[in-house]
Amino acid sequence: MNNIFDKTKQLLCLSMAGTAALPFVSCSEQAAEKPMNILYIMCDDHSYQTLSAYDTTYIQTPNIDRIAADGVRFTNSFVANSISGPSRACMLTGKHSLANGFTDNSSSFDGGQQTYPKLLQQQGYETAVIGKWHLTSEPTGFNYWDILIGQGDYYNPTFICNGEKVVREGYATNVTTDLAIEWLGTIRDKNKPFCLLLHHKAPHRTWMPDTCDFSLFADAEFPLPETFYDNYEGRKAAAGQKMSISKDMDIIYDLKMADKDSAIHSRPDLEEWGRRMYKNMNAAQKAAWDAHYDKVIADFKAAGLKGKELDAWKFRQYMRDYLRVITSVDRNVGRVLDYLEENGLMDNTLIVYTSDQGFYMGEHGWFDKRFMYEESFRTPLLMRLPGGIKGDVTELVQNIDYAPTILELAGVEVPGDIHGESLLPLLKGEEWNPERKALYYHYYEFPDEHAVRPHYGVRTERYKLIHFYGDDYSEWELFDLATDKNELKNIYGTEGTEELTDSLKGVLRELQVLYGEEEYIDK
Ligand code: SGN
Ligand code: CA
């Protein structure tokens, strides 16, 4: 395997001559090749179950799959905290949530701290973030930033472009891609290597499709996942959540049944939002929306569904809209890849595709994320490194690893306080020896918005130990993933698991010390 890292250092040295100095690049090393650019594509809430490089049950995503076909598919990729803002902060800093200070979605990111885009920029990279940001404070470390406000709107969204508000006509995924291509083509300084963070807001709730995709999946049926009617036996925190498709997914707000004669009613606050759902749309968009949903609403009213039939309808409607939104993401990823190909950038650009966390597609009866259970703890991760290996990487990796990977690839020294491990050896097919023995997870937000209890835990290749905690609340869960992949059987405290539990608790404590979370030990 070529030493890409060394090559990159040489290349940067050449291209940076006369700009910022690279600290440990020897300028005597000459190379004719170009430096490595970074294209980091992240979607919001994109489940691996709906990405065909991982799972072909529901949808084909041929464009995103192009990244996997020429690169690496990480089959055991996880987040450190399964919720947007915190996950993004982990990615930017390479540190767990407590250390980077952004523990839940009500936090504000301390932009004065070290991030990988900032370090790249200091070393002469041209950096940009385009799309959903969700870290409250203004981005730092970017030559260009053009971000949605909060979650952003699907239709005609308002962006903040380097501090100025701009309303942009169109569908968010298309508009965000247009901006990315414009930045790549005409805005960036082409004398510098680039690092572009392209963050789609899609497919976040409420899964509003582009008008050209309404007809897709219209007749598709979706069988309920085998755990849809999970009774949560032995898992108190799972029983207490409010993210059930059956109970909490709103007919009007989430599933768009805002009938014009207001005969359908749902949760009053959500109904009101649902009835205003298309407030941002222009006349043509509204007409296309109504042409599709008015018919679905009429059929829904006529059917008068109740009980399990209603559950099945809700699940199907959710899946149809979610998959339509994914189709648009996939098409737009294709546009950016085409741009790279047409402009000769494929041979010197690392392409990453990931999500801020996984998502429930009806497993356990749920939508949303947050839990350390597999569907939301896992996240898709594809990386195409020119000259790197192709195929599957099965090691346990986490989103805190992205920052050191990118820094090492760019020839920037990885600061010692970063928690993550560089994945570059894995991309190059080399031996990988991470300092951690297992993955650590910590989720903090409660009770909003889906009543998932705060919890931390540890995952090894085979086992998962979780502690849900709070004032007067302490529930442990232990799963053997080899025999119980759906995590239905909590074996914590059962006979014969004492030694295993002690050993996992030991690993958990070690990780809490390693990541500066001593205050949570046995909390
Ligand atoms: C919003 C959603 C929630 C979701 C959070 C966090 N409600 O509040 O369902 O869990 O975002 O999502 S919504 O009615 O506003 O859509 S995150 O991915 O941004 O963390
Ligand atoms: Ca998210």
Q: Cα dist. 295→218, 256, 289, 291 in Å?
A: 11, 12, 10, 7
**Average pLDDT of the residues of the chain:** 94
**Nearest residue CA, atom 16 of ligand 1?**
205
Within 6 Å (CB) of ligand 1, which residues are found?
44-45, 83-84, 105, 134, 151, 204-206, 356, 368, 449-450
Question: Residue 161 burial by CB count (10 A; 0-12/13-18/19+): exposed, middle or buried?
Answer: middle
**Nearest residue CA, atom 2 of ligand 1?**
205
Q: Which atom of ligand 1 is nearest to the CA of 450?
A: 10
Q: Which atom of ligand 1 is nearest to the CA of 86?
A: 20
* 43 DSSP β-pair partners: 200, 355
pLDDT of residue 12: 33
Element housing 404 (H / E): helix 402-409
| Phi, psi (rounded to 5 degrees) for 204 | -65, 155
Distance 314 CA to ligand 2 centre (A): 21
pLDDT of residue 277: 87
- Nearest CA to 377 among 47, 37, 2? 47
pLDDT of residue 26: 33
Q: Which atom of ligand 1 is nearest to the CA of 44?
A: 18
Distance 269 CA to ligand 1 centre (A): 15
Distance 81 CA to ligand 2 centre (A): 11
Rounded distance between C-alpha atoms, residue 80 and residue 73, angstroms: 19
Length of the chain: 523
pLDDT of residue 279: 87
- Mind giving me the DSSP string for 287-332? HHHHHHHHHHHHHHHHHT--HHHHHHHHHHHHHHHHHHHHHHHHHH
- Nearest CA to 365 among 472, 263, 486? 486
Q: Which ligand is nearest to the CA of 105?
A: 1
Rounded distance between C-alpha atoms, residue 333 and residue 43, angstroms: 10
Rounded distance between C-alpha atoms, residue 137 and residue 128, angstroms: 16
Low-confidence ranges of the chain (pLDDT < 50): 1-32
Distance 326 CA to ligand 2 centre (A): 14
**Nearest residue CA, atom 10 of ligand 1?**
368
pLDDT of residue 33: 55
Q: Which residues surround ligand 2, an ion (CB under 5 A)?
A: 44-45, 84, 356
pLDDT of residue 20: 36
Distance 16 CA to ligand 2 centre (A): 36
Q: Which atom of ligand 1 is nearest to the CA of 84?
A: 20
Q: Which ligand is nearest to the CA of 45?
A: 2
Q: Which ligand is nearest to the CA of 200?
A: 2
Q: How many CB atoms are closer than 10 A to CB 164?
A: 8
Q: Which atom of ligand 1 is nearest to the CA of 370?
A: 10
Of 43, 204, 253, the residue with max ligand 1 atoms within 8 A of its CB, to mutate for a pocket test, comes to 204
Q: Which atom of ligand 1 is nearest to the CA of 368?
A: 10
Distance 83 CA to ligand 1 centre (A): 9
Instruction: Please report the sign of the dihedral spanned by the C-alpha atoms of residue 178, residue 89, residue 421, residue 484.
Output: negative
